[in-house]
Amino acid sequence: MKILIKDVTAALRTGKGKYSTVKTDICIEGGKIVSVGNIQENYLPDKVINGAGLLALPGLINAHTHVYMTCLRGIADDLPFDEWLFGRILPNEDKLTAKDAYASSLLGCAEMLKSGTTAFLDMHMFPGKSAEAALKTGMRACLSRGLVGSGDDEAGSTRLKQAKAEIAKYGGYDTLSFMLAPHSIYTTDAEYLKKVSEEAKKLNLPLHIHVSESLREVEDCRKKHSKSPVKYLEDLGVFENKVTAAHCVHISDEDIEILAKHNVNVALCPRSNLKLGNGIAPVKKLLDRGINLCVGTDSAASNNTLNLFPDMSLTTLLHKGANMDASAVTAGEVLDMATCNGAKALGINSGELAVGKNADIVMLNTNLPQLEPKNDLISSLCYSANGSEVDTVIINGEIVLKNGRLTKINEKSVCANSEIIIERLIER
């Protein structure tokens, strides 16, 4: 479909962390942006969108989440991390069925779309269910089956086979891509980590892994291996692959040098880290070292939202305060993290409103009290917007949200199905 977005204010990237807002036209064809500015000669759109009063920006990219857990939102709040994970979340995960995971993933996709996220990096435990939810809703997704096990563990080998089977089945869709995901150093042993790492090299796939999320994880690693989790992973050869490491909260200057040396992408999850009492990642140090930082929500069971706007805002505000420096992390830098940096981590051709990029575009209604006056719309995205402003979402050249309403799924039905799941899991 050819789509012309007419007279829209567009957030155009002019440099690292730098944007300008320009009144312009955007032409879409074949799932790509074919022009920004002058309308091509003989361009005859199938649909024209009136962009007056709207701000167009690249679709947001959630660089770390677990969408199958969306139905577990609110079941384990205000608990320490170990009790949250081992006492509440994992036991309820064990009760989930594949049907539950699909319904929960649909709910997560619906929430992300309505708040302007067009792509997500998912770590899941139900092969095919996140994929089917992404295809159903029109989202772009990078999928990774969470891998837990040991080198000689049959269950671990089975999970790796499941991951490869999922890739074989869904690898032909242009909106889906894949990584391998050893869950963490505390759910895998050295031999299994090396096994998954070698398999990723054979398949030419990146890795996705939780790293240094909690203080206990780091302390246990130092006791067991006499080194940090980051150094441990380097010594095992894991960073010989392209890697997206989620969290990286408790890392040293030495760890930061290792991450920079191997061009590791770091997915920040500030709200989840704070809510679970895990701490604050050294974002300013990571930025200063040139590490590719992106933003994730983690799951709705720990955040408790998949809306990226609160995480974007918190990333700017938290590190200004922590560093006592109002310029420590700017709105433009965080917009980079949520768009082009996320695209780099996922390996997708999105993240900017530029010719040749995927037509993954979000448009926000700017004629709202929280965005008035329109002095600096880029700043407003991080300091004023809350996600409710999202009016239209286009992914791969297809309109998946129009006038704030999902076009491909029934929102009420999706919400009702999540209530059915939780009624079965939780004793009221």
Give the three-state DSSP class for 4: strand
DSSP for 85-129?
IIIIIHHHHTT--HHHHHHHHHHHHHHHHHTTEEEEEEEESSTTH
Per CATH, the number for 60-346 is 3.20.20.140
Instruction: Please give the Cα distance from 147 to 126 (Å, whole number).
Output: 11
Q: Who wins on pLDDT, 65 or 38?
A: 65
> Is pLDDT of 418 > 90?
no
Q: What is the pLDDT of residue 427?
A: 53
> Residue 138 carries which DSSP code?
T
Predicted pLDDT of residue 59? 98
pLDDT digits (tens, 9 = 90+) for 141-152: 999 999 999 988
Domain edges within the chain: 3-58+351-406, 60-346
Asked if residue 428 has pLDDT above 60, the reply is no
Residue-wise pLDDT for 106-123, tens only, equals 999 999 999 999 999 999
Burial of 136 (0-12, 13-18, 19+ CB in 10 A): middle
* CATH domain 3-58+351-406 topology: Urease, subunit C; domain 1 (2.30.40)
Angle (deg, nearest 10), helices 190-203 and 154-170: 20
What's the confidence (pLDDT) of residue 41? 85
For the record, the structure tokens of 120 come out as 């997500």
Over the chain, what is the mean pLDDT? 96
425: pLDDT strictly greater than 80:
no
How far does CA 265 lie from the centroid of its chain?
A: 12
Q: Which of the residue ranges 81-85, 264-268, 361-365, 370-374 would you say has the lowest mean pLDDT?
A: 81-85
SS3 13: strand
